Amino acid sequence: MPIKWNALLVSEAMDMVEGYVNQAIEPLEQAKLVATEARKIPNLPGYIDQHLVRLISEIERVTGGILPWNQQPHPGNVRAAITSVRESIPSGMVEAEKQKLDNGKQLSLVR
């Protein structure tokens, strides 16, 4: 027996998640800029620079950026996870549930 779940609610939840993620991206990008500038501090010890490089890499892993080994942009792990959820919803399910919802709100002329 198949389990009934609501693809529309999942899609709407991902819209909300994406909205919150978008709000968090800007402060993280600002933090990355500060860490990048900190690397330019004169006479910075190598062990401190390594930590800063790791910090910048972790921010880029979350937010996305350019992969250094191939110079290709990537969406970041958080956005990639949101995309994975959306792509896992069977094609047409969200639209079908929207249609059902809309039909339920309309008056039926035929009984």
Three-state SS sequence of the chain: CCCCCCHHHHHHHHHHHHHHHHHHHHHHHHHHHHHHHHCCCCCCCHHHHHHHHHHHHHHHHHHCEECCCCCCEECCHHHHHHHHHHHHCCCCHHHHHHHHHHHHHCCCCCC
Query: Residue 2 falls within a domain, yes or no?
Result: no
Query: Residue 36 falls within a domain, yes or no?
Result: yes
Query: Residue 59 falls within a domain, yes or no?
Result: yes
Query: Residue 95 falls within a domain, yes or no?
Result: yes
Query: Residue 48 falls within a domain, yes or no?
Result: yes
Domains held by the chain: number: 1
CA dist 26 and 63 (Å) reads 9
Domain that holds residue 37: 7-108
Residues linked to residue 65 through DSSP beta bridges, in sequence order: 74
Note the pTM of the prediction, 2 decimals.
0.72
Taking only the tens of pLDDT, the chain with its 111 residues reads 667 889 999 999 999 999 999 999 999 999 999 999 999 999 999 999 999 999 999 998 888 877 666 677 778 889 999 999 999 999 999 998 888 888 876 555 555
Report pLDDT for 68: 63
The vertex-108 CA angle with 106 and 111, nearest 5°, equals 160
Query: Residue 1 falls within a domain, yes or no?
Result: no
Q: How far is CA 88 from CA 14, 15, 71, 79, in A?
A: 12, 15, 28, 14
